[in-house]
Every structure is written in C-alpha cells, then in structure tokens.
A = this chain, B = another copy of it.
C-alpha cells in the first residue's frame, strides 16, 4: 500500500475512529460543565489546566505544564446600565465590560453621543462633541460578507481601540454594539487595550438589540446613560500552558504543534471559543495514536493559556522554543468554533500551500473543499517571527453560526453538534498526517 491509495485508507481509518469511537464530544461536555467559563487568572482557569493535564495523561501522552506569566482582570460583581430617553422614561440595559476595562468608580451618568465607527468617532471628537459624554459606537456586521470572520474583523477596531480613541477626546465611557451576527439581546465581550498616552475610561458592550434601541432613542432626542461597573485589573500572576507530545519516528527534532486555547471569557462556557479547539486537537492526537498512525515528526498538542486577553501563553511557548533551540516546521490552530468543517487556510511558503492543495481529491469526500492561502491563528502566529518560513495552518469550520455565540453567555455546550465536532477532529488529524507524510 503506497501513495494515494494508502493515504485514502488512512483517512478512512481516522474518520471511522472519530465518528464511531469519538471522545471529543464528551470531553467538551466535561470542559463546559465540570469546569465552565475559565477566564485567565480565575480559579476555573486553573481547574482547566488540571483538567487538560489529567485528560492528556489518561491517554498515555507525555504531558507537562509550561509556566507562563498571565494578566489578571476581573469583571467584579456590579455591572448595571440604564438610559433615560428624551421623554424622561428610563430603561434598563444589559452591559458587559470589555476585558481590561476599568470600573466606573461609583455611579457614572452622562449624555450619550452616537458614533458609527472609529472614523466617525474621530470626526466627532475633533469637533469637541465627545467631551464628558458616553459614546455609543454602533457599527453593525456587514451581512453581505459570506464569511462572518471578515465581518468581525471589520468591526474589531471599535472593540479593540474604540475606548482609547474616545478617551483621547475627553469622553467619560464607551458602549460598543456587540460584535455579533444576529440582532438579539446577548452582549458579547472581548479584548480591548488602553493606549499609554490617554486617561483610562470604562468600556463595555451592549447587545445588538440594545444598540438598535439606543440608536432609535437618540433619533428622538437627548439620551442620558447611567453606568456602574466595578471591574478591575490585578497584578500579573502565573499560570500554565499544557503540553503533550508523541515523538516522531524519523525526524524527532522537527516539531509539529497543534492546539487551541484553554482560557475563555467569563460568560457562557467557552464551548465554541475555544473548548472546541481544545478537544479537536486532543482528539486528533488520540486518533493518530489509537489507530497506530505514526508521524515522521514529533507531534505536540499545546493547550494555550490566555489567548483572550493578552496571548501571554503563546508568547511564552514561542520564547521557550527559541531558548531551547527547538526546530518548528509547522503548526496548526483550531480557534474558529466547532461547526461543520470547510477546509484549512495556510500562511507559509508557496510550496506548502501547493502541497496542501495537492490533497484536494483526498479531502473532498470529507467536505474539506476550501484549501486556501490565509491566516493561521492568534496563538500559533507567535511562532511566525522567530521561525521564518514556518507553515501555519488554521482549521476553518463553517462560519455562519459562530458570532451568534462568540464571547457571550450563549456560547454553551448545547450549541455544539456531536458529528460536526467529530468531523473537525478527524479533519485536523488528516491534514497533519498528510502534511507530515508528504513534506
């Protein structure tokens, strides 16, 4: 058995294991229900580290913890918002602080100003219209875009930079429209950062529905917003990446890293983001091992700590790799949810893209039709600069439902489909096997 015929049988064996004897779905249930939301620095994040180590050890893999510094931010216990419209009526509004935000230091009250996006915010700021105001930034997803990650990327600046930009013009606080696909009532949190040259002000997300309501109220006249948030940042702490590996049969010093991030936001259960990626990669390794499929290179699964608010764990992993003189040839990340697989995107040399695309006929029967040049992932991207020419592969599941759940209380186990998740694990095991064999 050689070449395509052998590859085809090995892929079949991988998918049979995933679909008939799969363990990823029950592993995800455990991560979501036994551990739950696991923001970096929380007790639950530490439970997740232990959970990952125990699971990988139970599969018989050589497993270790890699110490990493971490940031530590907490939402606190007060998180309330109201607005009063032009007629004097008051409405409650669900708010969800953005990660790293400061609190309001008691009740904060100010007139609202609406900005459509960062450019509009700057224009308003230059005209002196943001001073002492609470700025509502309302940039909806562009629904015309077929891939929802592209719509997300276009709105990302309002979450990442909007609070700092508004602070620059003297605003008191920022509320952003959630970076989400549907109109519903879940606020979606996410990371933001403060520029060093501005006075820090609070930043929070409101649901897309609430953004629509506030926009309508602002059309009617003046709106006054009241906020109370007691989130705060603590000194940096220590946590761990969880790392397990299987030594290669021929080129032991060449390392293939696959992984996702173990931390999540502090609402929901981090099921799609990124519980799915965690169990995908653990399962891919289990499948290859159980089915006796040997890789020529050393395969390492890394459960990164702190992708959501700092990417500290991935930086530690890359720094240590360089310090230890490790040879990294390619890395794969699953951090786009547990939905039905569509393909992979590859960031690396042209000949590696050609190699991946040469497997298209083998992958087609499994629904992996999109083998494209593109982004690898936030965590593995840390390997890019130190390892020039490294190949980074991002697993690409269907994107349509992802931003209904992402970073919100809706990201729970029940939204993940068993077979879709299992197919993801098999897809990852397959591409690793093929790339390693034909490299």
Contact = CB atoms under 8 A, between A and B. Distances in A.
A66 interface: no
A143 B404 CA distance: 28
B340 A367 contact: no
A369 interface: yes
B20 A419 contact: no
A146 interface: yes
Nearest to A17: B144
A404 B340 CA distance: 15
A235 interface: no
A93 interface: no
Contacts of A398: 340, 367, 398
Given A370-B369, A419-B181, A144 B19 contact: yes
A182 B340 CA distance: 16
A224 to B, nearest CB: 33
Contacts of A16: 144
A401 interface: yes
Interface in A107-164: 143-144, 146, 148
Contacts of A400: 340, 417, 419-420, 423
A366 interface: yes
A20 B340 contact: no
Contacts of A423: 146, 400
Nearest to A21: B143
Interface string A174-214: 00000001100000000000000000000000000000000
A365 interface: yes
**Identical copies in the complex:** 2
Contacts of A19: 143-144
A373 interface: no
Interface string A340-351: 101000000000
Contacts of A342: 367
Contact of A146 (B20, B143, B367, B369): B367
A20 B418 CA distance: 31
A144 B419 contact: no
Interface in A1-32: 15-16, 19-20
Contacts of A401: 417, 419-420
A28 to B, nearest CB: 15
Contact of A366 (B146, B148, B340, B404): B146
Interface in A392-424: 398, 400-401, 404, 417-420, 423
A184 to B, nearest CB: 10
B146 A365 contact: yes
A373 B238 CA distance: 57
Contacts of A404: 417
A377 to B, nearest CB: 21
A204 B294 CA distance: 48
A117 to B, nearest CB: 18
A419 B340 CA distance: 15
B369 A418 contact: no
A215 B420 CA distance: 27
A182 B420 CA distance: 12
A192 B417 CA distance: 29
B417 A146 contact: no
Contacts of A148: 419
Which of A16, A398, A417 gathers the greatest number of chain B CB atoms within 10 Å?
A398
Contacts of A181: 419
Given A15-B146, A19-B144, A367-B398, 12 more contacts: A15-B144, A16-B144, A19-B143, A146-B365, A182-B418, A340-B340, A340-B400, A369-B369, A369-B370, A398-B398, A400-B423, A401-B419
20 contacts: A15-B144, A16-B144, A19-B143, A19-B144, A20-B144, A146-B365, A146-B367, A148-B419, A182-B418, A340-B340, A340-B398, A340-B400, A367-B370, A369-B369, A369-B370, A398-B398, A400-B419, A400-B420, A401-B417, A401-B420
